[in-house]
Structure 1
Amino acid sequence: MLKLKRIIHIAGKEFISIYRDKLSMTILILLPLIIVGILGNVLRFELNDVKFAVFDKSGSSLFISLIQELDKTKEFSFNGNLNHQNEIIPAFISEDLKFVLFVPENFERGGEVNVFLNGSDLLMSEAVMQRLSAHFAEPLPFEYSFIYNEELKSEIEILPGLVMIALIIVASIMLSMSVNRERERGTARLLIITPAGMNEIIAGKSIPYLIVSIVHGFSVYLLSLFMFGIEINQGVFNFFLLTVLFSVATMMTGLFIAALVKNELELLIGCWLFIFIPNVFFSGFIFPLQSMESIITPVASIMPGRLFIEGYKGVVFRLTSINVNAKYFIILAFQSLFFYAVSVYLLKRNFFRK
């Protein structure tokens, strides 16, 4: 027969164990908050401040009033007028536009408004098409055109995200597990008594995983070419530079987590919560960045996963130059240096002790 007093004693003992176990306390308190916070901001189906431009050949006062009406909504943000049709594609690159409205001269006589959409971002393009159709009480005669991905290949949308996930697993998680394993097995002390310094130890531990990441990048290059018919001929150097910088940035983030935790379970939970989930959900791989709260957007825009996907699409699909993609390279390089410096300090203090 159940004794309430015994159950209460056991429950009290368990509460004390949870309180003393930092990992259990962290999981119980932070995990629900992080998951609800991330998914609550990501799982949104309205758009916010989607940039668009207009190339208007009609000069129609009716269409101008429609644009003003569209700009007043929180979903769309008017970014200005274009002066020539040749400015449409460069505007997508330099001004981060999501669509362009091309208004013909015969608009008031029934001419169709051509909506140019970014075919390398199908999730956003589909959302824009739905919102434009739903916005006007009397639907305008829209004709949709896609640039960069005129055939609307779905693999163009998912391939960058899949590559990002593969590199995160290989680069950050495997390296951090390897470093943590040195301490659990007691071999960290053997490394520290060798003539090698901390920088040499980290470099030696990182190089194999960086090489594997580059091999994965080469595999993606071949698969893209022969399986999906996607050529990277004009941006091969940029593609591999992006792969290396992203791999190093995620490796250093994983190293930072490895320097903070004590065992492999804590490490896996940390990598899952602070590397995998944020990079997957805040990268635009599953949900458009413009559907998130405005307070989250600046954070999401500098996540390594977001930088990799945007850089990948720019290099592979839009054939942008290294100057256009320089901002992604610079931010990834800065993140790598920052987490490397912090990781070295923490490893010297907490990990590789003589």
Structure 2
Amino acid sequence: MKRFVGFIKKEFYHIFRDTRSLFILFGMPIVQILLFGFAITNEINNVDMAILDHSKDATTKEIINKISASKYFSIKQILERETDIEAVFKKGKVKAVLNFETDFGKNLIKNHQATVQIITDATDPNTANTISNYINSILQNHQQEQNKAIHIDYVIVPEPRMVYNPELKSVYMFVPGVMTIILMLVSAMMTSISITREKELGTMEILLVSPIKPFQVIIGKVFPYIFLSVINAVVIVLLSIFIFKMPVQGSLFLLALESVLFIISALALGILISTISATQQTAMMISLMGLMLPVILLSGFIFPISSMPLPLQVLSNIIPAKWFIIILKGIMLKGVGLEFIWKETLILLGMTILFIGLSVKKYKIRLE
């Protein structure tokens, strides 16, 4: 019994001496609870929208002010022509456009009916549907307030139109997100245990005394996984096209280049994890728990980032998956070119260079 108690004490000592294990045991659950508590929501807040007002009368201004005053929408742009609608959607920031017909106020008084078109970006069908419902609710509320003061009811007829995903197929949202999660987790996990495996098998000493430079070791370990991950990406795209009928409106060549860039970023992140992990188990735990939840919750895959608290919105910017999902949706659903996604591409490229640089630096430290 004394030996058993001593063994238990020893295990406690090992856990408390290992800060990484303490973080996994106590830090990860806390982070997960906070992320789930704040990020899981079906509400929308601060959605950027644009206005195309052909009427420019007192009635439309009153409706616009009412929408702008709500916490759900933020009017970022006033459009002048119908052709501006597609351009503003392709930039990716504006999620809805309110299009008032000509003589909106006059038609409301004369014909007791006027039309306003609600155009939403349906690359995320759930969010698009929610945005449309919120705008409808505000319009109906305005209509009820006006009808209290008159004997003849006015009727505002909203005409929702979903662009890029008119049938609101949820698969259009899930395919880019699932592709991102698979490439991130598989690529990171495959490489995160590479250097830790060398240490556990006792072959790290061979690498330490070899004339191979640190960056050569990193590239040598990453290159085979790039090939395997590219095959994964091709399989995912083929399944999405032929099984789920997912359209690819943009350039396949650009899609391939962006996918390779993201794969290299994920592999470099996995190498970085492996250089700071003492065991394969630790490396795998960090890869799974440290990457999976942020990718799912903070990438905009399921939950709109604009509805999250400001600290989480800021934190989401360091998640590579967020930028890759924007790129995927832009190329596959909107058919945009590099001129619309150059910023996201540069951010991914910068993150990739950073991860590779940190991995080489960590490897150098082990050589000294």
Q: Secondary structure at the match of 1:240?
A: helix
Deviation string for 1:211-248 (max 9, x for gaps)? 11211222233223322334437411210111111111
* Equivalent residue for 2:258, pick from 221, 235, 242: 242
Cα distance in 2, alignment partners of residues 14 and 192 from structure 1: 31
Cα distance in 2, alignment partners of residues 95 and 283 from structure 1: 15
Cα distance in 2, alignment partners of residues 67 and 148 from structure 1: 25
Deviation string for 1:15-57 (max 9, x for gaps)? 5454223244213431232112222221233322211111111
Deviation at 1:279, TM superposition (A): 1.4
Are the equivalent residues in 1 in contact too, given 2:249–2:331 (CA < 8 A)?
A: no
* Equivalent residue for 2:130, pick from 127, 132, 138: 127
Aligned residues: 349
Cα distance in 2, alignment partners of residues 211 and 17 from structure 1: 39
Q: Which residue of 2 aligns with 1:113?
A: 116
Residue type matched to 2:237 in 1?
Y
Q: Which residue of 1 aligns with 2:98?
A: 101
Cα distance in 2, alignment partners of residues 244 and 14 from structure 1: 43
Cα distance in 2, alignment partners of residues 177 and 95 from structure 1: 37
Alignment of 1:276-315 (within 5 A): 276-315=292-331
Q: Which residue of 1 aligns with 2:73?
A: 76
Q: Secondary structure at the match of 1:47?
A: coil
Deviation at 1:161, TM superposition (A): 0.8
Cα separation, partners in 2 of 1:13 and 1:225, compared to 1, 3 Å? closer
When the two structures are superposed, what TM-score results if normalisation uses the length of structure 1?
0.90
What is the aligned-residue RMSD (CA, Å)?
Answer: 2.6
Structure 1 unaligned regions, length at least 5:
1-6
Cα distance in 2, alignment partners of residues 61 and 320 from structure 1: 37
Residue type matched to 2:362 in 1?
L
Cα separation, partners in 2 of 1:166 and 1:13, compared to 1, 3 Å? closer
Cα distance in 1, alignment partners of residues 325 and 136 from structure 2: 28
Comparing 275-284 with 36-45, greater Cα deviation is found at 36-45
Cα distance in 1, alignment partners of residues 249 and 170 from structure 2: 21
Q: Which residue of 2 aligns with 1:328?
A: 344
Deviation at 1:12, TM superposition (A): 7.2
Comparing 322-331 with 20-29, greater Cα deviation is found at 20-29
Q: Which residue of 2 aligns with 1:137?
A: 141
Cα separation, partners in 2 of 1:243 and 1:44, compared to 1, 3 Å? same
Are the equivalent residues in 1 in contact too, given 2:218–2:359 (CA < 8 A)?
A: no
Are the equivalent residues in 1 in contact too, given 2:214–2:360 (CA < 8 A)?
A: yes
Deviation at 1:9, TM superposition (A): 9.5
Are the equivalent residues in 2 in contact too, given 1:231–1:316 (CA < 8 A)?
A: yes
Q: Percent identity?
A: 27
* Equivalent residue for 1:67, pick from 55, 64, 67: 64
Alignment of 1:124-273 (within 5 A): 124-135=127-138, 136-138=140-142, 140-232=156-248, 234-273=250-289
Are the equivalent residues in 1 in contact too, given 2:171–2:246 (CA < 8 A)?
A: no
Deviation at 1:250, TM superposition (A): 1.2
Residue type matched to 2:40 in 1?
L
Cα distance in 2, alignment partners of residues 20 and 50 from structure 1: 47
Cα distance in 2, alignment partners of residues 179 and 209 from structure 1: 14
Matched, 1:22 2:15: no
Cα distance in 2, alignment partners of residues 94 and 160 from structure 1: 18
Cα distance in 2, alignment partners of residues 10 and 173 from structure 1: 32
Comparing 145-154 with 111-120, greater Cα deviation is found at 145-154
Cα separation, partners in 2 of 1:302 and 1:68, compared to 1, 3 Å? farther
Cα separation, partners in 2 of 1:48 and 1:231, compared to 1, 3 Å? closer
Q: Secondary structure at the match of 2:74?
A: strand
Cα separation, partners in 2 of 1:9 and 1:202, compared to 1, 3 Å? closer
Cα separation, partners in 2 of 1:333 and 1:46, compared to 1, 3 Å? same
Deviation string for 1:276-304 (max 9, x for gaps)? 21112111111111221123213214421
Q: Secondary structure at the match of 2:141?
A: coil
Are the equivalent residues in 2 in contact too, given 1:246–1:332 (CA < 8 A)?
A: yes
When the two structures are superposed, what TM-score results if normalisation uses the length of structure 2?
0.87
